[in-house]
């Protein structure tokens, strides 16, 4: 794997951890499936990155399906949002979450 591909995997891992932090901080939603999936993906990516045996595309392809499975129609994290009575807080956190999702999806789509 090239240095830039390793950096991309490290970035993907960081983004997944950031996503986990956001969804775990909201106890109003049932997100246990998403949290478990994120933990598995992060553990897998970190382990494979340390071993450096599997190629970049294989790593990305191994994460695509578990990631997509967290966003089924009308369930999972598809409708996830954080509610806060303070509009500014609500906007900031939900915007950050959407930005993280967009960055993850961009990395996954480039790695196919």
Q: In residues, how long is the chain?
A: 112
Q: What's the predicted TM-score (pTM) here?
A: 0.89
pLDDT tens across the length of the chain (112 residues): 888 999 999 999 999 999 999 988 876 667 888 889 999 999 999 999 888 888 899 999 999 999 999 988 877 788 788 888 899 988 999 999 999 999 999 999 986 6
Q: Which tokens go with 3?
A: 């240095």
CA 58 – CA 63 distance, rounded (Å): 9
Range of 69's domain? 3-111
Q: Write the secondary structure of 7-73 as one string of H (helix), E (strand) and C (coil).
A: HHHHHHHHHHHHHHHHHHCCCCCCCHHHHHHHHHHHHHHHHHHHHCCCCHHHHHHHHHHHHHHCCCC
Count of domains forming the chain: 1
CB 19 within 8 A of CB 100: yes
CB 107 within 8 A of CB 15: yes
């Amino acid at each position: 794997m090239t240095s830039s591909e390793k950096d991309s995997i490290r970035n993907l891992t960081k983004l997944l951890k950031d996503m986990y932090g956001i969804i775990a901080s909201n106890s109003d939603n049932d997100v246990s499936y998403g949290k478990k999936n994120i933990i598995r993906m992060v553990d897998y990516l970190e382990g494979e990155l340390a071993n450096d045996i599997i190629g970049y595309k294989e790593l990305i392809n191994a994460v695509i399906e578990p990631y997509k499975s967290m966003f089924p129609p009308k369930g999972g994290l598809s409708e996830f949002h954080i509610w806060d009575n303070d509009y500014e807080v609500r906007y900031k956190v939900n915007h950050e979450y959407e930005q993280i999702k967009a960055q993850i999806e961009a990395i996954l789509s480039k790695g196919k």
